[in-house]
Chain A
Amino acid sequence: MRVVAAMSGGVDSAVAAARAAEAGHDVTGIHLALSRNPKSYRSGARGCCTIEDANDARRAADVIGIPFYVWDLSDRFHEDVVEDFMATYAAGRTPNPCLRCNEKIKFAAVLDRALALGFDAVATGHYARLENRPDGVPELHRAVDDGKDQSYVLGVLDERQLRHSLFPLGDTPKSEVREEAARRGLLVADKPDSHDICFVADGDNAGWLREKLGERAPNHGGEIVDDESGEVLGRHGGTYGFTIGQRKGLRIGRPAADGRPRYVLDIEPVSGTVRVGPHERLAVTSIRGEQPRWCGPAPAAGTRLDGPDVTVQLRAHGAEHRAVVAVAEDGMDIELLDPAHGIAPGQAAVVYDGTRVVGSATITAAERARAS
């Protein structure tokens, strides 16, 4: 196959490209320029998409012996990922930009361009496995390395996208990937993993949003209110700086009457109010998800996914919760058999059957457990 290997400049995508080439594919390395104003150097383990990352990717391509180009997708990335990130936070929800990037950029804009230019597939360094059913339909599965599994952020890929995807690292633990990189002479072998959100270089989401949202922010401050007593506990600098379930950074200054920590329960962008309460109030028993995406043939509305191995994952690297999923016309209703805590609207609910990814939806509402 003719394969485009998306190369971020990190160790995973470099080894993925090398494996694709070694498997006999005709591989071309592509670095995606996603930032309109790339910084020269990366700082620490944060961010990516600096010129240094592009150079690291280029050097990896040299070592592998494949052609290499930079594709400028900064405008698309800004429109589809960064704007969505800002709008979601402004609306009091919590986005997952990596998932959006996979859905709109890597396996959409890049894949479409690659197919049009005569390529057959896009390979990435994501930790996930693809298995072909006997009838040829691809299935997306969790990676063998539980700690690195990234199937959650791929839960937006449909059957067509999966047919044109390669995830060469899915069956390998991360530590082995680093060893393999060193063995292959890839200089990125000991480059630190990237964390956080690539376009928020210093990891300070609230500060970044304050600057970028500016006038578009629904508020730049409001009250922090105790959800039970209604007492005003303090003020904050903008509802967009909060996520449901968050404990740190509330800066209330004085402990709750019972001495237990308080968590964000609710974010009200219009009034600017952030409601807080004790941990048990975060417990959620059912979830509504919209904008469903199915990683294979879409189940009919009315279908109940209630097998013994059906689970949902509600945030990246989050726990699996046993669940029953009722497929609706335009979404899904998820009943959690194991309650989950601190579920933030805007995040994705990804449905699994065992290790297989069934599909996903964007969480729009979560119903709290009755207070006991």
Chain B
Amino acid sequence: MSTPVYLDHAATTPMVPAAVDAMTAHLREPGNPSSLHASGRRARRIVEESRETIAQALNCRPGEVVFTSGGTEADNLAVKGLYWSRRAADDVRRRLLATSVEHHAVLDPLHWLAEHDDADLELVRVDELGRLDLDALAASIERDPSTVALVTVMWANNEVGTTQPVTRVVEIAAAHGIPVHTDAVQALGAVPVDFAASGVDAMSLSGHKVGGPQGVGALVVRREIELTALMHGGGQERDVRSGTLDVPAIAGFAAAVEVAVKEQAERAARVAELRDHLVAEMRRVVPDAVLNGDPAHRLPGNAHFSFPGCEGDSLLMLLDARGIECSTGSACSAGVPQPSHVLLAMGRDEEGARSSLRFTLGHTSTEADVTALVEAIGPCVERARAARA
């Protein structure tokens, strides 16, 4: 088969050449960044230069970048680490506030703390576009601010692409001295992300969503914030994260972040234009397709549709057979596809939630990708509908 039409950049996006170069340049060199000899110092230098590169791109201090194995670890470290340290300082802080549309890497640690560690989880509602209800969040905090351990609100949703009013969240929480974490895994490189200006206390990032390698990420966390460690060992990263650092991956990650931030505006404009074309064409060939998410506050590369009368799974398979790759966007929990919690939180019923597909564009997307999808989708929708009948 010819090269697939890749419309799943939110799942992972191809590495940019600068990241491949940076990563491969270090693969043949030995050196543990914790070693004291020349090889160790060289490895350490690569890590620290990478940290500085990322800090500069995100407008944070180098010491605020904690390297992790990826976005999921960063989310876990933020949620559990903040909860434990905040509760250790004052045992009444047991409330966890989050949107109902967080990624599972945030939601699952929250649920785990509620089930196993006496936390009280409050998921704040979103509207039908997936935007957080700020009044509901404020009301929830103000009911008893002293008992809130943390607030976590994703910068942008991974399924429907809706961006959240993170700076407003910070305003509300900061008034009560409550720390805010944001999962910015999907946002970085797609929209402007400035750590200092945002006011958040902790922010999760992932390497492979921005054109870097898989298996590396970071939690950017303000120096003043204390975190309880999840993994204990050598204490390599600020004593909150242990484990020998993956030097080539960190170098690749930093190179990708640098490119993603430098080219963000230009890339977003190009990708958004392609995406708008995709949406317009989709409406032409499948008039009853419903665009999900917020049309205004939205990631540039995201086009998420419901196809009434279709199973998303069937559509995905039919498109895949034609070399077009996309996602149902739903979490595949325990091997059985579940209806998306994001769409359910936005007020869709289970059937509606199962009828959706996510197309996400990125730095390698072209007009030809959109054309291929537009040509294939009509017959696929017809087929998938017949399979439901």
Contact = CB atoms under 8 A, between A and B. Distances in A.
A113 B336 contact: no
A74 B314 CA distance: 16
A343 interface: no
Given A69-B313, A71-B313, A117-B314, A38 B335 contact: yes
B261 interface: no
Contacts of B383: 116-118
Interface in A107-145: 112-113, 116-118
Nearest to A40: B334
A37 B336 CA distance: 9
A117 B334 CA distance: 25
A118 B49 CA distance: 55
B387 A116 contact: yes
A7 to B, nearest CB: 13
A70 interface: yes
B335 A33 contact: yes
B317 A69 contact: yes
Contacts of B318: 117-118
A72 B386 contact: no
Interface string B335-378: 11100000000000000000000000000000000000000000
A70 B389 contact: no
A117 B335 contact: no
B384 interface: yes
B334 A51 contact: yes
B320 interface: yes
Nearest to B332: A70
A38 B336 contact: yes
Nearest to A50: B335
B386 A70 contact: no
Nearest to A38: B334
B387 A72 contact: no
Contacts, number: 45
B387 A117 contact: yes
A54 interface: yes
Contacts of A116: 383, 386-389
B387 A70 contact: no
A54 B383 CA distance: 26
Contacts of B313: 69, 71-72
Contacts of B337: 33, 70, 72
A302 interface: no
A116 B385 CA distance: 8
Interface string A27-69: 0100001011110000000000001001000000000000101
Interface residues of A, number: 19
Majority SS of interface residues in chain B? helix
A244 B18 CA distance: 73
A159 to B, nearest CB: 22
Interface string B306-337: 00000001100110110000000000101111
A33 B321 CA distance: 21
Give the most central of B320, B332, B387, B388: most A CB within 10 Å: B387
A54 B321 contact: no
Nearest to B384: A117
B8 to A, nearest CB: 15
A72 B337 CA distance: 7
A70 B336 CA distance: 7
Contacts of A51: 334-335
Give the most central of B318, B332, B335, B386: most A CB within 10 Å: B335
B387 A54 contact: no
A118 B383 CA distance: 7
Contacts of A112: 387
Interface in A284-312: none
Contact of B336 (A33, A67, A118): A33
B338 to A, nearest CB: 9
Contacts of B336: 33, 35-36, 38, 70, 72, 74
Interface of B: 313-314, 317-318, 320-321, 332, 334-337, 383-384, 386-389
23 contacts: A28-B317, A33-B335, A35-B336, A37-B334, A38-B336, A51-B334, A51-B335, A67-B321, A69-B313, A70-B332, A70-B335, A70-B336, A71-B313, A72-B337, A74-B336, A113-B387, A116-B387, A117-B314, A117-B317, A117-B383, A117-B384, A117-B386, A117-B387
In the complex, the 6 A-B pairs of residues with the closest C-beta atoms, listed nearest first: A116-B387, A116-B386, A33-B336, A54-B335, A51-B335, A113-B387
Given A38-B334, A116-B386, A116-B388, 9 more contacts: A33-B336, A35-B336, A37-B334, A38-B336, A51-B335, A67-B317, A70-B337, A72-B313, A118-B383
